[in-house]
């Protein structure tokens, strides 16, 4: 299971349950691990790993059958899959509904399309947008995630990062613009 998990939400949890129903083990690859403190990527890899771990514990997953591994982005899309595969334990099946990922992988491994539930609501972009509007985002994430986000002052962080993005603080390469 590959994702950015910005933040980990109930849709991700449902997907993890789906995979656990089909497979002996679950590998969760936390993508874009090197990016954080940007509106699209507000949480650090470590914070996202804790979100995932706490959510799986809260849902009584057998953590002995789970791996949560941060993966930095590979800049060369043609070698991305080989890079990702070298960073995680061996696996036979990849769950992805992302057309770009499917094209990058081709026929290298079995790919299963997950069943997405309420994808329009269980969506990190939507949840971050709700945070900026002081709207009810908590119902879309596991309780442990909302608790962690509150402890991190994550809503304030997301609002600040949106403001910075709106004011042009970041350029297209995701780095702060310096003058």
Instruction: Enumerate the domain spans of the chain.
Output: 2-166
What is the per-residue pLDDT for 117? Answer: 83
* CATH number of the structural domain 2-166: 3.40.50.620
Which residues does the chain have with pLDDT short of 70? 169-179
User: What are the structure tokens assigned to 94, written together?
Assistant: 């990849």
What is the per-residue pLDDT for 170? Answer: 61
Question: Looking at beta carbons, which pairs linking 84-90 to residues 24 or more positions away fall under 8 Å?
Answer: 84/2, 84/29, 84/31, 87/29, 88/27, 88/29, 89/25, 89/27
pTM of the model: 0.90
Of the candidates 87, 73, 90, 91, the residue with the CA atom closest to the CA atom of residue 31: 73
């Amino acid at each position: 299971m590959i994702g950015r998990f910005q933040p980990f939400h109930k849709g991700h949890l449902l997907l993890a349950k789906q995979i656990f129903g089909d497979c002996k083990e679950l590998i969760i690859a936390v993508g874009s691990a090197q990016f954080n403190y940007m509106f699209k990527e507000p949480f650090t890899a470590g914070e996202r790993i804790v979100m995932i771990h706490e959510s799986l514990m809260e849902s009584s997953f057998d953590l002995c059958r789970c791996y949560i591994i941060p993966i930095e982005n590979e800049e060369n899309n043609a070698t991305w899959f080989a890079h990702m595969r070298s960073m995680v334990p061996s696996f036979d099946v990849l769950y992805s509904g992302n057309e770009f990922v499917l094209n990058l992988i081709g026929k290298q491994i079995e790919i299963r399309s997950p069943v997405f539930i309420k994808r329009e609501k269980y969506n990190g972009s939507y949840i971050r947008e709700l945070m900026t509007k002081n709207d009810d985002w908590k119902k879309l994430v596991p309780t442990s995630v909302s608790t962690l986000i509150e402890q991190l002052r994550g809503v304030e962080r997301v609002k600040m990062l949106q403001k910075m993005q709106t004011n042009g603080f970041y350029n297209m390469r995701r780095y702060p613009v310096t003058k």
